[in-house]
Amino acid sequence: MSQTQLRSRAHAAVDYEQQAEKLSLDSSSNASDNTSHGVAVKATFITPLDPVIETSDGNRLPSVPVPEAHRINLLKEKAEGRQYRPTKPRGLSRFDIKTEENAVDKQELLRGDQESERSRLEDAIPQSHTHPLFPPLPLYGPPTFLRDVQCAILRTTSAFLSTAFLAVIVLGALFTSIPNFFKYIWARLTFRDPDERRPFYKEEQRRAHVRKEKESEWLRKQSKRGRETETNEEKSVDTATDGYEPLEGGPDKIICDIRYYARRVGLDAEEFRVQTEDGFIITLWHIYNPKEYKPTSEAHRRHKSPDVFTEQNGEEPHVQRQYPDGEKRYPVLLVHGLLQSAGAYCVNDDDSLAFLLCKAGYDVWLGNNRCGFQPEHSLLRYHDPRMWAWNLRQMGVMDLPAFVSRVLEETGFEKLGLVCHSQGTTQTFVALAKEQRPELGDKISVFCALAPAVYAGPLIDKMYLKFMRVISPPMFRLFFGIHSFIPLMMIMHRTLPGKMYGAMGYLVFSFLFNWSDTRWDRGIRDRLFQFSPVYVSAESMRWWLGRECFAKHRCVLATWEAGQKEEVEDESDEERKEKAMANSSDRGRTAWYDERVPPMALWIAGSDDLVDGHRLLRRFDRGREPHVKVVHSKVIPEYEHLDVIWALDAADKVGKEVRDVLWKTMPDEAKRVCRKISGVDEESDVGGQQNGQVDGLHQ
């Protein structure tokens, strides 16, 4: 080896140490001399545009800008005398990403580093090659005195300004509710029932009566529990008519506890902890029938390696060992929406989608996205801004694969059914895109999208939402900080009584998103809001409502210009439509998905102002996605955004159809070993479907 090469490697080693320190958990001045805890070693590309940092102790740090990741890998390989050859991103030729020996322009990266070091924290978004809908996230680096001071300033300003913003929203909600309040009082004064015009008035009264009877029955049972024997008559009264005996009962406690509501309907739940590929610890709930399943140990439910879809050790999973062939349960994963949690699927008693599917015969799993009610990371802590440097892209690319991988590992199946609502559908549509993680489609038998959030609805133009779109990114961080979004909401959630919080939650969310409880069971309305809001990052809300991303483009996978082109094409005459649809090569080039995309089923809320599901249906119907097979689609004109999971008739209009679609798209191998799903019509069943196509099911 020549002296020049040795000097070059020596310089690269020095530069590598500096770059590693820049991306490590702590700076060298803060780190202990006796440990290498959290020291950056290299960047691992989850997708070509989603690098995470691997540390010397086997942990992961969240995503960093692409140039910073290429730089540490380049310097590492150069210091070790090897050549760095990053892979070319799939289908991203329109982005300027270098892939030959000069894969990273060192001078360009150095200039970018110098600019980043000179810039203030709130402006520190290094220039990066990325998808136009997902601008790069801030690079904060390890703690320093200056960074801590800047974080403290932003936390202080955002605490006051975001609280003021929330106060304006609450006052607006209270002000707009005044007319309804006086109408209610007037109806009572004139001896009329203000609720008699509600569409499900009699059903609400019937359910309230049934709940009262069950509460009394439970209290009688508890009072007799101390006796040594009970008569057969008493035992028969204690057993539910569907064979599921409640394990909890009495007056509704209105608490934030999935297991409590599962036990009220004769089921139970266990919580698993899952590590994402960027180090976040997220939760996964397993709903089961306690009469036929014994939960696993707490040690087994802990988080494991951040790697996903690893090779199985050959041992039959704990879940599968408890079910013989012919009686196994096919796994179904449910993912929640924005500002919600998995509990949103568990609040409607037996009509809750999670409980309906479990009692029908499925193995039901509920995923909670990162942070949720208890933010946790393998290395980072709450006050570190890197803990909150993520948005919807990371939830799709990291959280969803982690959920799917753990469910398949625990159940032993090769595929699962995926059911998502609102933002859960968004992260799935992003993850399945051919430029993100299309291989995930091979693990999903069908994707059921409830109120799919792909195109923005008219609500995006409301004044208080426009305010977030008008202000610049630095101003957004000044208002809402660089940590969690309006943390005061979580303080209120923990401190206010359940009934008070539920009433306030309904008023505020109804004001923000134009929701109403017209089709809900008003007797349990306070319960519905116990599982929201949750911790979300300010960066995530900036992606939804800020000036560069969703609020600007009004679509999660297409720019505003592409959306305008679609609109013009939709308004053209029939001949031009047919001609455009016939051009399959052009369709394939502009499509979001390739042949690995799973079959899809869609339930559209026709009166939804938050998102526009009709445009997504048009995209599929007009042939813009030649690889997407829509096996079921339904528009419910009277439904609003949350009605697809909370309406009194949602079990009939949505839940039972989801149950049927999951069975009809289940792989044949799974059908041979799984129990027959109760309620599914055998005559409408189809076997031997190819690529998820289900004949006679499309509506």
CB–CB of 653/636 below 8 Å?
A: yes
Assigned token pair, 369: 């996205």
pLDDT for res 529: 94
pLDDT in tens, 206-226: 999 999 999 998 988 888 775
User: Within 546-687, where are the H helices?
Assistant: 550-553, 560-570, 574-582, 584-590, 613-621, 643-646, 650, 656-664, 668-673
Question: What is the SS3 assignment for 315-326?
Answer: CCCHHHHCCCCC
Does the pLDDT at position 93 exceed 90? no
Does the pLDDT at position 127 exceed 60? no
pLDDT for res 699: 41
CB–CB of 332/417 below 8 Å?
A: yes
Asked whether the bond before 533 is cis by omega within 30 degrees of 0, the reply is: yes
Does the pLDDT at position 84 exceed 60? yes
String of DSSP letters for 658-676: HHHHHHHTS-HHHHHHBPP
pLDDT in tens, 159-172: 999 999 999 999 99
pLDDT for res 193: 87
Half-sphere exposure of 630 (CA within 13 A, CB side): 19
The H or E element that residue 333 is part of is strand 331-335
Residue 27 sits at φ, ψ, to 5 deg, of -75, 165
pLDDT in tens, 287-327: 999 999 999 999 999 999 999 998 777 778 989 889 998 99
Crossing angle for the helix pair 3-23 and 66-79, to the nearest 10 degrees: 140
pLDDT for res 547: 86
DSSP state of 2: -
pLDDT for res 5: 72
Does the pLDDT at position 616 exceed 60? yes
Rounded to whole angstroms, the Cα distance separating 616 from 607 reads 15
Q: How confident is the model at residue 113 (pLDDT cuts 50, 70, 90)?
A: very low
Q: How confident is the model at residue 205 (pLDDT cuts 50, 70, 90)?
A: very high
Determine what percent of the chain is predicted with pLDDT higher than 90. 64
Within 10 angstroms of residue 587's Cβ, the number of other Cβ atoms is 17
pTM attached to this predicted model = 0.89
pLDDT for res 311: 78
Rounded to whole angstroms, the Cα distance separating 321 from 410 reads 10
Does the pLDDT at position 52 exceed 70? yes
Q: How confident is the model at residue 598 (pLDDT cuts 50, 70, 90)?
A: very high
Q: How confident is the model at residue 36 (pLDDT cuts 50, 70, 90)?
A: low
The residue whose two tokens read 């059921």 is: 448
Assigned token pair, 419: 């059911």
CB–CB of 264/211 below 8 Å?
A: no
Q: How confident is the model at residue 118 (pLDDT cuts 50, 70, 90)?
A: very low
Determine what percent of the chain is predicted with pLDDT higher than 70. 84
Catalytic one among 252, 384, 608, 660?
A: 608
Across the range 359-384, mean pLDDT stands at 96
In the residue annotation, 608 being an active-site residue is answered as yes
pLDDT for res 352: 98
Rounded to whole angstroms, the Cα distance separating 174 from 440 reads 45
Rounded to whole angstroms, the Cα distance separating 354 from 334 reads 8
Within 10 angstroms of residue 46's Cβ, the number of other Cβ atoms is 21
Q: How confident is the model at residue 682 (pLDDT cuts 50, 70, 90)?
A: low
In the residue annotation, 641 being an active-site residue is answered as yes
pLDDT for res 596: 96
Residue 629 sits at φ, ψ, to 5 deg, of -110, 110
CB–CB of 647/516 below 8 Å?
A: no
pLDDT for res 117: 39
Question: 314: burial class by Cβ within 10 Å (0-12, 13-18, 19+)?
Answer: exposed
Residue 466 sits at φ, ψ, to 5 deg, of -60, -35
Assigned token pair, 466: 């426009």
Rounded to whole angstroms, the Cα distance separating 616 from 427 reads 15
Distances (CA, A) of 22 to 144, 218, 268, 381: 11, 60, 46, 18
Across the range 632-639, mean pLDDT stands at 97
**Which residue in 638, 519, 501 sits closest to 198, CA to CA?**
519
In the residue annotation, 286 being an active-site residue is answered as no
Q: How confident is the model at residue 136 (pLDDT cuts 50, 70, 90)?
A: confident
Across the range 92-97, mean pLDDT stands at 37
Lowest mean pLDDT among 365-379, 457-471, 601-615, 654-668: 457-471
**Cα 328 to chain center, whole Å?**
27
Across the range 32-56, mean pLDDT stands at 84
Rounded to whole angstroms, the Cα distance separating 361 from 402 reads 24
Q: How confident is the model at residue 227 (pLDDT cuts 50, 70, 90)?
A: low
Lowest mean pLDDT among 377-391, 492-506, 581-595: 581-595
Q: How confident is the model at residue 465 (pLDDT cuts 50, 70, 90)?
A: confident
Across the range 593-621, mean pLDDT stands at 95
The residue among 271 and 466 whose pLDDT is bigger is 271
pLDDT in tens, 475-530: 999 999 999 999 999 999 999 999 999 999 999 989 988 889 999 999 999 999 99
Catalytic one among 493, 537, 641, 643?
A: 641
pLDDT for res 683: 57
Q: Specify the pairing of strand 281-288 against strand 331-335.
A: unpaired
pLDDT for res 693: 40
Does the pLDDT at position 23 exceed 70? yes
Catalytic one among 63, 341, 378, 422?
A: 422
Does the pLDDT at position 149 exceed 90? yes
Does the pLDDT at position 3 exceed 80? no
pLDDT, averaged across the chain: 85
